[in-house]
Chain A
Amino acid sequence: NAGVMQNPRHLVRRRGQEARLRCSPMKGHSHVYWYRQLPEEGLKFMVYLQKENIIDESGMPKERFSAEFPKEGPSILRIQQVVRGDSAAYFCASSRQGEGFEQYFGPGTRLTVT
Chain B
Amino acid sequence: GNSVTQMEGPVTLSEEAFLTINCTYTATGYPSLFWYVQYPGEGLQLLLKATKADDKGSNKGFEATYRKETTSFHLEKGSVQVSDSAVYFCALRQGAQKLVFGQGTRLTINP
Interface residues of A (CB under 8 A from B): 4, 6, 31, 33, 35, 41-45, 48, 56, 59, 91, 93, 95, 97, 100-108
Chain A residue, CB-CB nearest to B32: A100
Contact A41:B103 (CB < 8 A) given known A105-B43, A105-B44: yes
How many CB-defined contacts (below 8 Å) exist between A and B?
51
Instruction: Give chain A residues whose Cβ lies under 8 Å from the Cβ of B98.
Output: 33, 45, 48, 56, 59
Asked if B69 lies at the interface with its beta carbon under 8 angstroms from chain A, I say no
B72 to chain A, nearest CB (A): 17
B41 to chain A, nearest CB (A): 8
B-side interface size class: 20 to 34
Instruction: Give chain B residues whose Cβ lies under 8 Å from the Cβ of A101.
Output: 93, 95-96
Of B45, B49, B104, which is within 8 A of A105 by CB? B45
**Can you list 29 pairs linking A and B with CB atoms under 8 Å apart?**
A4-B43, A6-B43, A33-B98, A33-B99, A35-B99, A41-B103, A42-B102, A42-B104, A43-B44, A43-B99, A43-B101, A44-B101, A45-B98, A45-B99, A48-B97, A48-B98, A56-B97, A59-B98, A91-B43, A100-B32, A100-B51, A101-B93, A101-B95, A101-B96, A102-B46, A102-B49, A105-B36, A105-B45, A107-B43
Instruction: Give chain A residues whose Cβ lies under 8 Å from the Cβ of B49.
Output: 102
Asked if B13 lies at the interface with its beta carbon under 8 angstroms from chain A, I say no
Of A42, A48, A106, which is within 8 A of B101 by CB? A42
> With the chains together, A35 CA to B51 CA distance in Å?
22
A42 to B97, Cβ gap below 8 A?
A: no
A41 to B104, Cβ gap below 8 A?
A: yes
A10 to chain B, nearest CB (A): 10
> With the chains together, A41 CA to B49 CA distance in Å?
21
Contact A42:B89 (CB < 8 A) given known A31-B96, A97-B96: yes
